């Protein structure tokens, strides 16, 4: 398999990282020139670092709460609850 196409390399490099073999052992088992493997691996790692996208996760916004007390008890709602729902509930009381 000395004539590997470009799309074979990510799979091959993943196999290498999971193999727990030295690079020389892995290349010997696969019939790959160790120097060429090293070159392709370095190039792939550089490209992978350039493809990295930084993602920032913002914590969810905390919602407040609204409480309604009445003679029969108390309702407490998160402020994210639809106000029309709350109004309908109050009218029904």
| pLDDT tens per residue across span 31-53 | 989 999 999 999 888 877 666 66
Query: Dihedrals φ, ψ of 61, to 5°?
Result: -70, 140
Q: Are residues 43 and 67 in the same domain?
A: no
pLDDT tens column, 1-29: 455 555 588 889 999 999 999 999 999 99
Q: Are residues 12 and 46 in the same domain?
A: yes
Q: What is the pLDDT of residue 1?
A: 47
Nearest to 39 by CA among 13, 20, 59: 13
Q: Are residues 67 and 38 in the same domain?
A: no
pTM of the model: 0.47
The 3-state DSSP class for residue 77 equals strand
In a domain, 21, yes or no: yes
Print the domain residue range for 25: 8-50
In a domain, 3, yes or no: no
In a domain, 2, yes or no: no
Using the Cα atoms of residue 63, residue 66, residue 67 and residue 70 in order, give the sign of their dihedral: negative
**Domain count within the chain:** 2
In a domain, 40, yes or no: yes
The 3-state DSSP class for residue 74 equals strand
Question: For the chain, what percent of residues have pLDDT higher than 70?
Answer: 78
DSSP E strand boundaries for the chain? 65-70, 73-78
Q: Are residues 14 and 44 in the same domain?
A: yes
Do residues 22 and 34 make contact, with C-beta atoms less than 8 angstroms apart? no
Q: What is the pLDDT of residue 66?
A: 77
CA 5 – CA 8 distance, rounded (Å): 6
In a domain, 14, yes or no: yes
Does position 78 have pLDDT exceeding 50, yes or no? yes
Q: Are residues 29 and 44 in the same domain?
A: yes
Does position 91 have pLDDT exceeding 60, yes or no? yes
């Amino acid at each position: 398999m000395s004539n590997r196409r470009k799309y074979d390399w990510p799979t091959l490099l993943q196999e290498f990282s999971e193999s727990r073999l030295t690079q020389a052992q892995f290349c010997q088992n696969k019939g790959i020139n160790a120097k060429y493997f090293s070159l392709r691996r370095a190039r792939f790692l550089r490209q992978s670092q350039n493809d990295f996208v930084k993602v920032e996760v913002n914590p969810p916004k905390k919602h407040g709460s609204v409480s309604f007390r009445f003679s029969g008890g108390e309702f407490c709602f998160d402020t994210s609850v639809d106000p029309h729902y709350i109004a309908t509930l109050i009218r029904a009381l």
